[in-house]
Structures are given as C-alpha cells and as structure tokens.
Chain A
Amino acid sequence: DAKTTQPTSMDCAEGRAANLPCNHSTISGNEYVYWYRQIHSQGPQYIIHGLKNNETNEMASLIITEDRKSSTLILPHATLRDTAVYYCIVRVRTGANNLFFGTGTRLTVIP
C-alpha cells in the first residue's frame, strides 16, 4: 500500500471548516483513499473514501487532486466532538489485506 504523509497536528476554530491534507504521491491506479478518525481511547471510525472523484457524505467531503497524488478531507463545520486523530490511508479496495496506519493528524477543535 502507498505511503501517506500528513501534518502532525492542526487546530481549527469551532464552527469553521477543517481542511486536513494528505500526500500520497506514490498511489497506484487501483488504490483508493480512505479516511478514518480515532477519538481518544476509541477504535477508529470510518469517515469517507474515494478513488478519483470528489466525494461527500454526512460527515465530510473528500477532495482528490486530478493527479491523485494528494487529497483533502473537509469537515465543513467543525465541532468540539471532531477533536481526534485523522488517518489518511491508501489501499486497494478488494482483498482482505489490513489497513496500514501512519501517524495521522491530530486535529484540535478550539472553542
């Protein structure tokens, strides 16, 4: 699976949009971009995933660049409960292979 690079930490004001970047310059054509987050002392939670088109769900939006070498997770209106470590993972969608977790980005939403 391709390696990803994320900033170690970010702050965001409550109510503002949180934009979390991820670089995955070695991504392969069949690899998807997945985002998970982990709130303190809980298991990771799925947020969103995409291949090359931008995606949106009730939690977030995922913007993938045209060359697919980077992406941005957008939380449109951050709340205090969004404070967590956010992991960007790239992997093929099929097959029972594990998820490789990098160091992620620690997002702190500030009141």
Chain B
Amino acid sequence: GAVVSQHPSWVICKSGTSVKIECRSLDFQATTMFWYRQFPKQSLMLMATSNEGSKATYEQGVEKDKFLINHASLTLSTLTVTSAHPEDSSFYICSAQANNNYGYTFGSGTRLTVV
C-alpha cells in the first residue's frame, strides 16, 4: 500500500508555455503533499507544502505565481509551472504521508526540460 503516482514522468515544453504535473495518492488520502525540485547531482529541495482545501505554503525563494499548486481533493495535488524557462528544467518530485509506519511515500518524479 501507500502508492503515490506522478504524471507525466517526463515532459519537454517550449519556453513560455505552462506545464502541469499531477501527484495522486492511489490507496490512501493525503491532506498534505510536498513538492520537491532536484537539479542534477544535487539533493532534493522542498518547494512547497500542498494542503487540501487551502493555499499552499511556499519555501523562501520559490515564486508562488510561477509554481501554482492546487490540492482540490484528498488524493490529488497538481503543480503547474507557468511561463516555463530553461532554468526551470529540473526533476520535480511529490510526496505524501500515508497513515502508516513508513514515513513519506514519493512519486516517481517528473523530468521537465524547457527548450
């Protein structure tokens, strides 16, 4: 149990366009989900905390108007990268906490390439 599905696994988009990434908890409900970003050869950096039914909490330095987060249900959070630029190219990963002993479950990640 405690599976998090993330889609798409990779996406290439043109500079200036927007990209939506979905994160679903398949067999549990998650009132809180987390979005991370990971640049090559670096560790995961928390971008924002997504709360079901309320506004997301963004980490310092993360533009909330650029990285739109919607958590409209207990099983789905979305991250939209708006007006993407090449510097937004990164590996985006979501996670959620199931009500079990295993801490957090992570999605498989989304490789975003902006050209």
Contact = CB atoms under 8 A, between A and B. Distances in A.
Given A96-B97, A98-B34, A98-B46, A43 B106 contact: yes
Interface stretch (A14-22, A75-83, A101-109): A101-109
Contacts of A102: 43
Given A44-B44, A102-B43, A103-B43, A49 B107 contact: no
Contact of A46 (B45, B46, B104): B104
Nearest to A91: B103
A46 B108 contact: no
A34 B103 contact: yes
A46 B111 contact: no
Nearest to A93: B103
A41 interface: yes
A42 B108 contact: yes
A93 to B, nearest CB: 8
B4 to A, nearest CB: 8
Q: How large is the interface on A (under 10, 10 to 19, 20 to 34, 35 or more residues)?
A: 20 to 34
Contacts of A43: 4, 6, 93, 95, 106-109
Contacts of A38: 44
Interface string B84-115: 00000001010101000111111111010000
Contacts of A87: 43
Nearest to B106: A43
A54 interface: no
Interface string A40-72: 011111100100000000000000000000000
11 contacts: A36-B106, A43-B93, A44-B106, A46-B105, A49-B103, A87-B43, A93-B103, A96-B49, A98-B34, A98-B49, A103-B43
